[in-house]
Amino acid sequence: MTTTITCSQLSPALGDLEHNLTMTVAAIKDAVEHGSQVVVLPELVTSGYSFATAAEARAAGMTRNDSIFDDWIAAAAGAAVVIGGFAEVDEAGTMFNSAVLLDPAGGRTFYRKTHLWDREKSVFAPGNELPPVVPTQFGAIGLLICYDMEFPELTRHLALAGADLLAVPANWPLLEIPPIGEHPAEVVIAMSTARVNHVAVACCDRSGEERGQRWTQASTIVAADGWIASQSNGQTLISAELDLEASQTKSISQRNDLFADRRTDLYRLEDAAEHD
């Protein structure tokens, strides 16, 4: 059985919460109308990304009880899991770059980005908890946010924890133009993540330009075998039908298993030496 996964590559307006609410609700409805069962939205899609100060981010922040999540659930109409990024402000006024997973059954799971990119460090505090794996009716979904995916410790953690799909809200800044015929570096990382863990990956980038920053606009859905199932060439919505049960099998030949072949006896010795 396959699951239809959609990445909605949107262009949020910096600090315009009402505009971004309307845009995200419309995107979720559109994805569900096209048969999507898992909808992934970009990082910080409720607020925009390029904040100059923590105070500016705080003005666009929201709590975990914000009504926007009710609106997203209503837009999904009980047919899809929704994952999206938002600027979270806690009771102490601390800002986090966060993501939420909303399950049709009513569950809400939150994750705070643990690896902050560049100027994010002057705006947000890093999360201090490992990313979760959430059981849903479509499969077990692990959450990451953008730069988190570049740390194999996290992606392997999610795979070992039983994730069938890694959902990755992202804002990939356009830092370099890849050589002709090559994928952006972030897409290569998504492919290798899927390949070495035999787990599906859905990365939702954003579009547009914000305070002079352009974005890679390369949302990508990768199957568990590491090959791209769908990739944006500028279009807002991309989808792929994946067999997420394939992520549960780690065997890659008659005699090789990605997890069983790990030499944890050696890795543990190396880890211990690093901390002596």
Euclidean distance between CA atoms 19 and 75, whole angstroms: 16
pLDDT at 268: 75
Identify the band that residue 269 occupies on the pLDDT scale cut at 50, 70 and 90: low
pLDDT at 45: 98
Mean pLDDT for the stretch of residues 90-108:
95
Percent of the chain with pLDDT over 70: 97
Radius of gyration of the chain (CA): 18
State the chain's mean pLDDT as an integer: 95
**Nearest to residue 132, comparing CAs of 111, 160, 104, 103?**
111
Q: Which strand (E) or helix (H) includes residue 203? A: strand 200-204
177 versus 4: which is more confidently predicted? 4
User: What are the residue ranges of helices labelled H in the chain?
Assistant: 17-33, 54-59, 68-76, 152-160, 185-197, 264-274
Domains of the chain and any CATH numbers: 3-274 (3.60.110.10)
pLDDT at 233: 87
Category of 269 on φ-ψ map: left (φ > 0), alpha (ψ -120 to 50) or beta: alpha
Residue 86 CB partners (closer than 8 Å, separation 6+): 44, 45, 46, 47, 62, 66, 68, 98, 99, 100
Q: Which residue has the tokens 């971004």?
A: 20
Residue 204 CB partners (closer than 8 Å, separation 6+): 7, 8, 9, 40, 41, 42, 167, 168, 169, 170, 219
Contact 12, 84 (CB under 8 A): no
Tens of pLDDT, residues 115-140: 999 999 999 999 999 999 999 999 99
Tens of pLDDT, residues 44-95: 999 999 999 999 999 999 999 999 999 999 999 999 999 999 999 999 999 9
Inform me whether the pLDDT recorded for 108 exceeds 90.
Answer: yes
Contact 229, 223 (CB under 8 A): yes
- Read off the tokens for 250: 């780690």
Whole-prediction pTM: 0.95
Mean pLDDT for the stretch of residues 152-159:
97
Euclidean distance between CA atoms 232 and 225, whole angstroms: 19
Q: Which residue has the tokens 């740390």?
A: 151
Euclidean distance between CA atoms 155 and 161, whole angstroms: 10
Inform me whether the pLDDT recorded for 272 exceeds 70.
Answer: no
pLDDT at 232: 96
Contact 249, 258 (CB under 8 A): no
Euclidean distance between CA atoms 255 and 251, whole angstroms: 8
Euclidean distance between CA atoms 127 and 148, whole angstroms: 11
C-alpha 182: how far from its chain's center? 22
Tens of pLDDT, residues 207-251: 999 999 999 999 999 999 999 999 998 889 999 999 999 999 999
Strands 81-89 and 95-102: antiparallel
Identify the band that residue 18 occupies on the pLDDT scale cut at 50, 70 and 90: very high
